[in-house]
Each structure stands twice: as structure tokens, then as C-alpha cells.
């Protein structure tokens, strides 16, 4: 794992490269989102991760990680749960 001191764009990019051909469960995706502080970064990561979920029915559980309702709504629209 990359240290937290790396710029967030590098961490997001590294995450996308490392999970490009992998899938994970929503519970694990929520833990990955903890690596990012700001809603904008978490949203980018959540959208990417939602496309790699083994249990897509639980994609909406990632929305609980967002601080702002507007971000939650944008994510829910992305996963088709608006």
C-alpha cells in the first residue's frame, strides 16, 4: 500500500491500476474508501469500485461513507439507485 503522504491523485491512480482486473465485496470497498478523506476523492473511488463489486446489490452501502448529501445523491444516481 502507498503511504498516506503520497498525493491523493497518485493513490487514486494506483488503486485503479491495482484493482483494474479484480473484484471485491462492498464491505471491502467501504474499507478502501477509508483511505480517502474528501468526498470528491471518495466519490471517484466509489464509482470505480462499484463497477468492480461482486455483490453489486450492496453498492448503495458505499454511500454511507460520504459526508454530504449531494455526494450521496450523485453516487446513488451513478449506481442507479436514485
pTM value > 0.95: no
- What's the DSSP call for residue 54? S
Q: At what angle do helices 39-50 and 69-78 cross, to 10 degrees?
A: 20
pLDDT tens digit string along 25-71?
999 999 999 988 899 999 999 999 999 999 999 999 999 999 999 99
Amino acid at each position: 500500500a502507498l503511504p498516506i503522504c503520497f498525493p491523493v491523485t497518485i493513490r487514486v491512480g494506483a488503486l485503479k491500476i491495482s484493482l483494474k482486473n479484480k473484484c471485491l465485496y462492498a464491505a471491502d470497498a467501504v474499507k478502501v474508501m477509508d483511505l480517502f478523506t474528501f468526498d470528491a476523492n471518495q466519490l471517484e473511488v466509489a464509482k470505480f469500485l462499484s463497477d468492480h463489486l461482486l455483490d453489486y446489490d450492496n453498492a448503495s452501502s458505499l454511500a454511507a461513507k460520504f459526508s454530504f448529501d449531494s455526494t450521496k445523491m450523485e453516487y446513488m444516481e451513478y449506481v442507479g439507485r436514485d
